[in-house]
Structure 1
Amino acid sequence: MEEEIAEEQRKRAEANRLAALAKRKALSESTSILTNQHPNPWKLFKCRKVSPGHTTPISSKPVNTCSINPPPTLQPTILPEKFRVRLEICSPDSFSVTPEAVLGFPCPGEASCLEKLRGCLSNVVPSHYTQNHGGGKACVYKLRDYDTVLRCLKNYKGIEYEEIPWGTLNVVERLSHSFTAGRWIPCRPEHLSDEKVDELIGKLPQTLLDALLPFQLEGVRFGLRRGGRCLIADEMGLGKTLQAIAIAGCFKSEGSILVVCPAILRFSWAEELERWFPFCLPADIHLVFGHQNNPVHLKRRPRVVVISYTMLHRLRKSMLEQEWGTLIVDESHHVRCTKKRSEPEEIKAVLDVAAKVEHIVLLSGTPSLSR
């Protein structure tokens, strides 16, 4: 019985195979007839195989059975080599010329860039070469040759350049006269001569003068030479507070001192002021903690007022109505551009008060290169 079933299955499979072959043959014949009557231009043709020993010359054209021409081969765009130079101040009397790559263009390389710069600036003798922040080489020129270097770069079409900001260049050029001469030369209306500086330092308490280290005394002279308008950015623990107190003490006869600092530092400032200002009694140093401590409510004006950034903003109107002789801003890196909602108004309050004060001392031990 099982053998009869197996034989029947084999016959059925063979019949199905023969029917499929007959159907494929009929379909192939009908397709061939249709193709001859209506050739299909989109039909793919089979590429001819090339034997290993046979090569087709570049000049020969391949046979194309397709009626549509193949798309043209796109040639790669070759960009010219390009670089730019950045000019920046590197000392009180010199500036550097640093080659750097231009985005999207191939750079010829550092050696080639320096060679082109030497050819472009052949009329200007560089002072020396230095290493830039990226580890590359930069040419250094004297500040007196800046206009000549800039003129040569403008006339040379193959090099882009980035100038030193005019404001920075103007300030450095003015202050570089003292560096070149080796002595302090006042160049702005608020600047003070060395004779006036010695006179002001002589008015400080002897205990304060004895406590100043040589570099701290030089920092005090630096601030006084600039009319009490300076930034002291020594590292933490080097006595920025003592230097600021000394500078403010030289102008104590010109009005009250306003100290703006983070809230946590108010007591520290009060202790330092009492220690180094023997002429200040505890009642002469007023700390502001809230609206009830507003200095306008006091019968006698204090010699020193210590206030936080937040309270200065809240008491902004009344603080602007008062006259201040000296403004000390501790942790001055807080005066910056920010995205926080609360800080812009605090910063604006500090700037508004600073606009009305003649002597301003900024203190910061925190680098803020990007602000």
Structure 2
Amino acid sequence: MRATERSDDDPWRLFRCRKIPSPTLSSSKEDPDPINNSNPPHRPPPAVAVRFLIVIEICSPTEFSVTPQPLNGFTFPGGLECFRELKHAVPFREIESQGIRMTMACNIKDHELLLRCLRMISGVELQDIPPRMLSVAKRLEIDYVRDDDGYDRIGGSIQFITIMKRFE
């Protein structure tokens, strides 16, 4: 039936037939038919935002610790994955495990260098040592290291903790 022969009340008058490809003519799928395709191309799931918090705390008169923690609203990749990222950014430090909690202990004098390295990691927020507390710790670390004539390390640590509590 030709278009001129169709009546105006014919429901098929606006329908256009698509060209159905013959399997013998072309076996290539360079131009897939989006209408006829019952399985749309599989898209990967949207990337989940992976971020974590790095907490830097003073843990002794000569050292501070770097510990990854979950960040609210983001997926936490886990301690091992966080430390893999830290290891790439800070290759000069070894990672230690203190029971369940994994942490990286660093010397106070390496604080600025380590902080610059940590800032280069994407998806990381830093919670640093307050500047006033850090300056006191650096001064105490110098006194702690200078004392070579039998300084009581336990007494010095207790004194250090007492002084640091004042700055919290």
- Fold-level match, TM-score > 0.5? yes
| Gap runs ≥5 in structure 2 | 1-35, 40-44, 150-154
Whose helix fraction is larger, Structure 1's or Structure 2's? 1
Q: How far apart are the structure 2 equivalents of 1:160 and 1:105?
A: 12
Deviation of the 1:155 alpha carbon: 2.2
Q: 1:131 aligns with which of 95, 98, 104?
A: 98
- The yes-or-no answer on 1:119 pairing with 2:112 is no
Deviations 1:279-327 (A, max 9, x none): xxxxxxxxxxxxxxxxxxxxxxxxxxxxxxxxxxxxxxxxxxxxxxxxx
Match of residue 41 from structure 1? none
When normalised by structure 1's length, the TM-score is 0.28
Q: How far apart are the structure 1 equivalents of 2:125 and 2:142?
A: 30
Q: 1:59 aligns with which of 14, 33, 38?
A: 38
* Larger RCO (CA within 8 A; separation ≥ 6): 2
1:158-197 matches, cutoff 5 A: 158-183=123-148
Deviation of the 1:183 alpha carbon: 4.6
Deviations 1:195-227 (A, max 9, x none): xxxxxxxxxxxxxxxxxxxxxxx79xx99xxxx
Match of residue 287 from structure 1? none
When normalised by structure 2's length, the TM-score is 0.59
Q: How far apart are the structure 2 equivalents of 1:58 and 1:103?
A: 41
Question: Which entry has the higher C-alpha Rg, 1 or 2?
Answer: 1
Q: How far apart are the structure 2 equivalents of 1:96 and 1:130?
A: 11
Match of residue 305 from structure 1? none
Amino acid at match of 1:94: E
Number of aligned residue pairs: 118
Query: Does the 8 Å CA contact 1:130/1:140 hold for their aligned counterparts?
Result: no
Name segments (4+ residues, structure 1) moved above 3 Å.
none
Q: How far apart are the structure 2 equivalents of 1:115 and 1:78?
A: 20
Equivalent position SS for 1:180 = helix
Deviation of the 1:58 alpha carbon: 7.8
1:280-359 matches, cutoff 5 A: none
| Gap runs ≥5 in structure 1 | 1-56, 61-75, 185-217, 224-230, 233-367
Q: How far apart are the structure 1 equivalents of 2:89 and 2:37?
A: 45
Q: 1:142 aligns with which of 90, 107, 111?
A: 107
Amino acid at match of 2:122: K
Q: How far apart are the structure 2 equivalents of 1:111 and 1:165?
A: 27
Match of residue 109 from structure 1? 78
Match of residue 155 from structure 1? 120
Equivalent position SS for 2:118 = helix
